[in-house]
Amino acid sequence: MNKAKNNKSRKIQIEYPSEVLKPVREHLLSRLFGLERRKKELAEDDPFNDKSRLNDNAAIDADAAEKVGHMEASALRQTVDRSIIQVRKALSRLKIGKYGLCERCGRMIDTDRLMVMPETTLCLDCEKKKEK
């Protein structure tokens, strides 16, 4: 009876074969590189990072345009930062053998979902619950 109880308490962990995960890992690393490059570009394009603006007595409309440009760059940087976190999280899950498993419920994430968003760490049901 004790043996049956132990079998029930053990979860069977399903992993994708390494030949399937290798291209996923390469794609995620490529995406991470692209996101890091985009983050750097956004920082360079931020009008507030232009040192010459400190010495410039610009008109009010130019100052307003700089502020809008800064807000745009900041919002885009935040989006890129969130994406970088998600990609790194997926790479970590790949490394520890939990890629493709929902981090909340532990069930397999639908492969169609992983094809569209390889960085996802939640199944569709858990994602819907999170959004509510």
With H, G, I as helix, E, B as strand and everything else as coil, classify residue 46: coil
Structure tokens at 104: 């909340």
- Average model confidence (pLDDT) across the chain: 81
106: left (phi over 0), alpha (psi -120 to 50) or beta: left
pLDDT, tens only, 76-117: 999 999 999 999 999 999 999 899 999 999 999 998 999 999
Q: So where are the chain's domains?
A: 19-99, 100-132
Please give the DSSP secondary-structure letter assigned to residue 118. Answer: T
Report if pTM > 0.75: no
